[in-house]
Amino acid sequence: MSDPAAFYRAHVFCCTNRREAGHVRGCCAEKDAEALRGYLKDQAKAAGLKGVRINLAGCLDRCELGPVMVIYPEGVWYHYRTRADVDEILQTHLVEGGRVERLLLDTKQKRLTPEQEAAYAGSSTGAASA
């Protein structure tokens, strides 16, 4: 039996998990994950992307890195904090088939590197950011 055709050419899972306030690991929801996921979905629709499904997900166990998303079938993980990050992932990964190197996460990574954190220093975060 051959493998069935994929339902989607890309399936994006955006963590929107919410933990109790002050939890030591934090959570994606407190970093505007829901609004950013909504923005990604709206932008994908506006771009007319076909065969791309964007879903919310419960905890993806990368809380300290969040918000995070994973894109299948490749299993590529990204951290993102701004609309500009979302736009770059949408264009580079979902439209062009490339990777956004500066936002990639290693599958074993549990904390952002100093370089990754520095990229956000002084910038506002969340859905309102451009």
Report pLDDT digits (tens) over 6-49: 789 999 999 999 988 888 888 999 999 999 999 999 999 999 99
**Beta pairing, strands 10-15 & 76-79:** unpaired
Residue 128 confidence (pLDDT)? 45
Do 107 and 77 meet the contact criterion of CB atoms below 8 Å apart?
Answer: yes
CB contact at 8 A, 77 and 69: yes
Residue 109 has a pLDDT of 75
CB 129 within 8 Å of CB 85: no
More confident residue, 93 or 26: 93
- Please classify residue 65 by burial: count the beta carbons closer than 10 Å to its beta carbon, then call 0-12 exposed, 13-18 middle and 19+ buried: buried
CA distance 97 to 119: 23
More confident residue, 23 or 4: 23
Does the structure show a pLDDT above 80 at 63?
A: yes
Reported pTM: 0.83
| Angle, alpha carbons 91-94-96 (nearest 5°) | 65
pLDDT of 126 > 60? The answer is: no
